[in-house]
Amino acid sequence: MITLYGIKNCDTIKKARKWLEAQQLDYRFHDYRVDGLTQEQLTSWCDELGWQALLNTRGTTWRGLSDEQKSDMDSQRAIALMLEQPALIKRPLLDTGSSRHLGFKEADYAQWLG
């Protein structure tokens, strides 16, 4: 089963969902804020993808953090921040069942799900 992780009102999530639906692919949408995440999930994703890739440092949530919160970042601190503020997780995260991928590009999705 394909699972798309993200936040419902994110524009990139909307594009990814629209693409998946246009391809008539069955998928489940998991909203970080509504459905939550576990430390085990985030740890697994960080192990696979790297915490630096998973931590969204381009968004308004990151910019709203204090310098103290941003300093000395490591895997454990990043996971704790992402659990506390799920908007800090880069999105979408596509779980194909056998692999996980960050971001949305039509060509990439076609290759991963083809």
pLDDT band at 114 (very low <50, low <70, confident <90, very high): confident
| CATH classification of the domain holding 6 | 3.40.30.10
For 28-82, the pLDDT digits (tens) are 999 999 999 999 999 999 999 999 999 999 999 999 999 999 999 999 999 999 9
Look up the domain containing 96 and give its range: 2-113
Q: Which of 4, 10, 78, 89 is catalytic?
A: 10
pLDDT > 90? residue 14: yes
In total, how many domains does the chain have? 1
Mean pLDDT of 7-24: 96
The model's pTM is 0.92
Q: H helices within 1-114, ranges in order?
A: 11-22, 32-35, 39-49, 51-54, 60-63, 67-70, 75-84, 106-113
- 72, 36, 92, 16 alpha-carbon torsion, rounded to 10°: -170
DSSP 3-state of 31: strand
The amino acid at 67: D
Query: In the annotation, is 46 catalytic?
Result: no
Residue 80 confidence (pLDDT): 95
Inter-residue contact 3 to 28 (CB < 8 Å): yes
